[in-house]
Amino acid sequence: MKKITLLVAVGVLGMLFVSSTYQKNQNKYNFSKGTPAVKSIAALAFGPDGVLFIGDSQSSTLFAVETKDTKKAASAQYDVKNIDVKIAEALGTTKENVSIIDMAINPVSKKLYIAVKSADGTPVLLSLGTNNELKAVSLTDVNFSSTAVNNPPDETKKDRQGKPLSLMSISDMGFEDGKLLISGLCNKEFSSSFRSISFPFTGKAAEEATLELYHANHGRFETTSPVRTFSTTTIEGKKYVVASYTCTPLVLFPMDELKPGAHVKGRTIAEMGNRNTPTDMIWLKDGNQTFLVMANDNRPAVKVSHEEIAKFQGTLTEKVEGTAGTAFIILPHEKVLQMAKLDDNKAVVIQKKANGDIDLWTSDGKNI
């Protein structure tokens, strides 16, 4: 009897503990329980405590979801040949009916999350465990919060004729210093949009800065092009956004200048060649050096050391033939479609091979 009483007491205490932790997180991030109405998944990124950010272009909304995936792991090893076929089979269809949109690794558990879209537009969130098994990540009855990605129209634009604002298609997302950073493209006007939103979400509009760059191959001309992928770095104590564009210039924007309404001119530090779109960029260590590794859809992946980036003080405003700026190393991996940081030295990559197969693999820390 005593034993039973003790067990009940422990059970109740346990429940109270779980409930208080749950309450704490709910309050900490202003989460509420429910089912987020995710219409599309354009980008994924992890925040603190296993919070997964989902960028939904179609509903112009950012969701923060508590995954409860907070068990620490040092690293993991993923290796799935024909990942597109495996995903299609898990979803009960064939590979031409699924597209892999983005992937992110939970920095705490090292679990891999993959965003997939079916041919009919249905978004799917999957996870890949360390056993390389695909599972569904349920978004039913989860703790979450959300915020609109579009700036609400100002007085002069406010619902003049009830016409919709342009849609922002999210090209990349990252979490830094308590802020969710989002780069995007508009579906109508040609513009470069870069937004930062404080997390926990406050419900206030996203702070937007316009980014402008000198195109080095350009010489005289200057344009606002849409950022395709970005990361952040610190140079001599100052934080920067490192961004890349189609035609692959690498540009630094000081983070303290990225304020609402600001028009920020970037410093182009490298030209990495045209007819290419960068797909992802991450920072990895190799020995005592840190490298920015960039994956490309039509060229081999490349890496640039932090030292080189910090050393390059100028800006490429003179005409450039081919490539220029900071020295970079060409890596032996072409057509890397997705890349996510696994730990300090390694990344997980989805690559289209020469024979057309799409494989997911873990880097060995040497080339990527």
Can you give the binding site for other proteins, defined by CB under 8 A? Answer: 42, 57-59, 89-94, 97-99, 101, 117-122, 124, 126, 134-136, 154, 156-158, 160-161, 163-167, 169-171, 185-191, 214-215, 217-223, 225, 246-247, 263, 274-275, 277, 297, 319, 321-322
Q: By C-alpha distance, which of 165, 173, 154, 162 is closest to 189?
A: 165
The nearer residue to other proteins, 297 or 334, going by C-beta atoms, is 297
Cis check: omega of the bond before 200, within 30 degrees of 0: yes
The nearer residue to other proteins, 98 or 269, going by C-beta atoms, is 98
Smallest gap from residue 35 Cβ to other proteins (A): 13
The nearer residue to other proteins, 130 or 274, going by C-beta atoms, is 274
Structure tokens at 188: 């109508």
The nearer residue to other proteins, 305 or 315, going by C-beta atoms, is 315
Residues 362 and 348 sit within 8 Å (Cβ to Cβ): yes
Residues 155, 157, 158, 161: is their CA dihedral positive or negative?
positive
The nearer residue to other proteins, 246 or 367, going by C-beta atoms, is 246
Residues 31 and 143 sit within 8 Å (Cβ to Cβ): yes
Smallest gap from residue 93 Cβ to other proteins (A): 4
Nearest-angstrom CA–CA distance, 58 and 174: 19
The nearer residue to other proteins, 321 or 364, going by C-beta atoms, is 321
Smallest gap from residue 249 Cβ to other proteins (A): 10
Smallest gap from residue 152 Cβ to other proteins (A): 14
Smallest gap from residue 315 Cβ to other proteins (A): 13
Nearest-angstrom CA–CA distance, 213 and 226: 10
The H or E element that residue 228 is part of is strand 227-235
Give bridge partners of residue 33 from the DSSP assignment. 143
